[in-house]
Chains A and B, each alone.
Chain A
Amino acid sequence: MTSIKRRTLGALAALLLAGTIVGPSFGQDTPVQGGTLIYLEQQAHTNLYPPAGGFYPNGGVLNQITDKLTYQNPQTLEIEPWLAESWQVNDTATEYTFKLRPGITFSDGTPLDAKTVALNYDTFGLGNKDLKYPVSEVINNYDHAEVIDDLTIKFHFNKPSPGFLQGTAVIGSGIVAASTLALPYDELGDATKIIGTGPFVVESETLGKELNLKAREDYNWGPVKFTHQGRAYLDGIKYIITPEDSVRIGALLAGQADAIRQIQAYDEPQVIDAGFPIYAPGTRGLNNAISFRPDNPLVADLKVRQALLYATNRKEIVDTLFSANYPLATSVLSSQAAGYVDLSDKLVYDQDKAKALFAEAGWTPGADGILEKDGQKLDLTVYVSLPQPQNEGVLQLLAQQWAQVGVKLNVLAGDAGSRTLDLLDPLKTPVNVTMVGRADPDVIKSAYYPKNRDWLLQKGGSSDKTNFVDDKLNALLEGLAAETDREKRLAIAGDIQRHVLDEAYTIPFFEEPQAFATAPYVNGLEFEAVGRPSFYNTWVAAH
């Protein structure tokens, strides 16, 4: 709650500053049962296979209809019991034993038992080629699940997997019924087929237009430490797909909707001025940034990358385009994430230093002012990343800043196909927009390791056109994924953040939030650890 409170206080402070006296009317404290929440989503959900929950619209649905084995407290980041009442981990983090809570049922009436949980994790951990299920990003080194008894399950890993416990709490680890996982992957875009144990059930759906959830009367297995137990307060939630920003905000302010997702920073004032609270939970992973592909000869030289880092006025970007909900990044990792180290001293804006470094690296201004070396111009290309907030604006401003030191940055939109292919070729895309949310240090390995997201495009990773490899970084990442001692693990996370900035691989801009707004009478809208909404505790006051 601290983060939400902080944001709300921030919003209130902004209201006072703006001289407005109309505040949100948080009059009642006793939750009221009943009512259907009208929630406007910017985009329709796609595939609702739980590991596809990383896509915000998917996560926003899955978080209501599925539960997880464990609950990660968004304030403390501690793992608490949920569907599992207790668990044990062996010393090498290769065996995890979970004891399930008895009496839990899926919405189709089938019981939640060890067998079903085993099927879920075998699918998430290994994929299913026949049904085309991909594996889940958060489950590393998975071997198999062993059903000990009806309510006890043991997971075996072929290498230490210290991140697994947190992995059981993420949005991508919702447990679904066996009947859901018997369907081909290609049919899981139909929400009515996703059977979970969650506080809400899919009642009906019009593809691409609206989705109706209704509360499950017999729900009685929320996260153990919640004060609210039993069924959800709301009777239902109506998701309406409203792609147009002005229509979402206008409808909220005009009283046609109760809650909306996605408010751009420039639209925040009109929402706040109307006395409507904005929630901007952080996504707690790697910050919104750009990362270099050092295989490209233009950015292969450390001095060039460092010069580009010095030439980037990150504060100007954040101050010009964003609001207080988008804090300036002080490391590659979010300041709300476990293992974060404040590295602001490595993220300094200094044009003179940038120019000196370019000169040291042998780059001199050409006739057109653009830096040249051996007849080649320092001319870089980057693709806009549509899901990231105002990304085109960020990149255009960056291009202006870099132009001041003689570097040309071309900002491309491009069709999805060309973009995807070009991003696999370091020669075509020396720079890429990067960001990923997850509240566990494993996220750093996910981002940089060649067999995962492979942000730097290393040899042996996603691109067959690259020879770049950083053995030191990869060894650190492997160490992070395997270290079972928490303190040592966090220390490695710190070492990686330092290494990434010393090598100037990544220039982080800001800590990316997910922005929501509600009507003043909506209470108890909460967020899981990476900013997906949870409506279980939400209630609507008389208005």
Chain B
Amino acid sequence: MSRYIIGRIGQALLVLWIAFTASFLLLQALPGDAILIKFQNPELGLGPEQIAALRDAYGVDSPLWQQYLQALGNFLTGNFGYSVVGSVPVAHELLTNLPATARLASLGFTLAVIIALGLAFLATLAPFAWLRTAIQSIPSLFVSLPVFWLGIMLIQIFSFRLKWISVINPGEFEGLILPVITLAIPISAPLAQILIRNIDEVSTQPFVAVARAKGASPSWVLWRHVVKNALLPTLTIAGILFGELLAGAVITETVFGLNGIGGLTERSVRFQDTSVIQAIVVFSALCFVAVNLIVDLLYPVFDPRLRRLKGAPA
């Protein structure tokens, strides 16, 4: 098991380095650069000589390999440089925005899982066939709701009309309610779809028939036998949905005026703010690797067939 983990960590480091290098090269291939975009901007009204002097001061015209080695060296020593747009150290921006997004994303994801489980159980256990079908179609509705529209509708209804929740200057908890719902609903849809399909599939398996024949109640069968087996593919999807979470966070943050990695990414890409993008790319790669590692380690917990001969996790 430890060899397995060391191997996985080695893989992870490789992924991080590739992510760093690829993002560096891609950003360099784009036309223009952050310094040009910032200082050629009419808002500062700088003349050509002044811009040339600044480009020189920032060293943006030095050879590519030199810039790459410098960026890599800085990264390895924990120096992420400055955000050109925000004019603050990148570390400062990450520290402000990461916890905010982590909170939004984790709450959003948790709620999405709860909604998905709720929908799946209702779709299986609801009393009438027409009701079950109706519930089964809810995920398709959820997945097709545009996040920005959903966010604005929730604000208009619950904040501006009903005045239940403040969007402007809300309390810590109050401020999270609508954004978390906005983020969770579209994410819950694919989870629910997969879960419902797998429950259907597993329910037709012979062992379920056996359990039923032994006199187990439908909810007992669902909880003890079906769900355990139906969770596995859902877990895989959950790992992949992490990316969706970030994408949804961009829009949620913009609509609700929250700060976070989503908005920061969008701004940095727009202005080619290289040092910020690279820090975000490497960090996101790290998260992806970690989430997938956790998912892989969780498989054996849910499925005894995937447990290794010895040292299986309890």
Encode B200-232 as 1/0 by CB contact (under 8 A) with A. 000000000000000000000000000000000
**CB <8 Å contact, B44 and A189:** no
* B10 interfacial contact with A, CB 8 Å: no
Encode A196-240 as 1/0 by CB contact (under 8 A) with B. 000000000011111000000000000000000000000000101
**CB <8 Å contact, A421 and B255:** no
The one of A210, A254, A416 that contacts B32, using a Cβ cutoff of 8 Å? A416
**CB <8 Å contact, B152 and A208:** no
Q: B77 — which chain A residues lie within 8 A by C-beta? A: none
Q: Of the 9-residue stretches B34-42, B121-129, B135-143, which lies at the interface with chain A?
A: B34-42
Q: A184 — which chain B residues lie within 8 A by C-beta? A: 82
**CB <8 Å contact, A418 and B31:** yes
Contact A135-B270, Cβ < 8 Å, known A187-B82, A244-B257, A421-B32: no
Alpha-carbon distance A190/B88, docked complex (angstroms): 6
Closest to B46 in A: A134
**CB <8 Å contact, A256 and B31:** no
**CB <8 Å contact, A51 and B87:** no
Q: Of the 9-residue stretches B162-170, B238-246, B292-300, which lies at the interface with chain A?
A: B162-170
Contact A462-B155, Cβ < 8 Å, known A417-B33, A421-B31: no
* A253 interfacial contact with B, CB 8 Å: yes
Q: How far is the CB of B293 from chain A (nearest CB, A)?
A: 31
Q: A129 — which chain B residues lie within 8 A by C-beta? A: 53, 57
Encode A504-534 as 1/0 by CB contact (under 8 A) with B. 0000000000000000000000000000000
Q: How far is the CB of A123 from chain B (nearest CB, A)?
A: 13
Contact A188-B57, Cβ < 8 Å, known A134-B44, A137-B46: no
The one of A208, A417, A420, A452 that contacts B47, using a Cβ cutoff of 8 Å? A452
Q: B270 — which chain A residues lie within 8 A by C-beta? A: 415-416
* A177 interfacial contact with B, CB 8 Å: no
* B117 interfacial contact with A, CB 8 Å: no
* A251 interfacial contact with B, CB 8 Å: yes
Size of the chain A interface, CB-CB below 8 angstroms? 62
* A111 interfacial contact with B, CB 8 Å: no
Contact A207-B45, Cβ < 8 Å, known A129-B57, A417-B32: no
The one of A206, A251, A417 that contacts B36, using a Cβ cutoff of 8 Å? A417
Q: B50 — which chain A residues lie within 8 A by C-beta? A: 127, 134-135
27 pairs, A vs B, C-beta closer than 8 Å = A38-B169, A40-B168, A46-B86, A55-B43, A129-B53, A184-B82, A186-B88, A187-B82, A187-B89, A190-B92, A207-B93, A208-B96, A208-B264, A209-B257, A240-B168, A242-B257, A243-B254, A247-B256, A247-B257, A256-B159, A418-B31, A420-B41, A451-B47, A452-B45, A453-B42, A453-B45, A462-B40
SS class, residues of chain A in contact with chain B: loop
Contact A46-B159, Cβ < 8 Å, known A127-B50, A240-B257, A417-B31: no
Interface hits, A240-266 → B, CB 8 Å: 240-244, 246-247, 250-251, 253-254, 256-257
Q: How far is the CB of A510 from chain B (nearest CB, A)?
A: 18
The size class of the interface chain B forms with chain A is 35 or more
Contact A189-B88, Cβ < 8 Å, known A244-B254, A254-B159: yes
* A468 interfacial contact with B, CB 8 Å: no
* B258 interfacial contact with A, CB 8 Å: yes
* A51-B44, A253-B160, A416-B271 known, 9 other contacts, Cβ within 8 Å: A48-B87, A127-B50, A134-B54, A186-B87, A187-B88, A208-B86, A209-B257, A254-B163, A462-B48
Q: B84 — which chain A residues lie within 8 A by C-beta? A: 186
Encode A420-450 as 1/0 by CB contact (under 8 A) with B. 1101100000000010100000000010001
* A132 interfacial contact with B, CB 8 Å: yes
Q: B271 — which chain A residues lie within 8 A by C-beta? A: 416
**CB <8 Å contact, A417 and B152:** no
Q: How far is the CB of A507 from chain B (nearest CB, A)?
A: 18
Q: B37 — which chain A residues lie within 8 A by C-beta? A: 416-417, 420
* A73 interfacial contact with B, CB 8 Å: no
**CB <8 Å contact, A242 and B44:** no
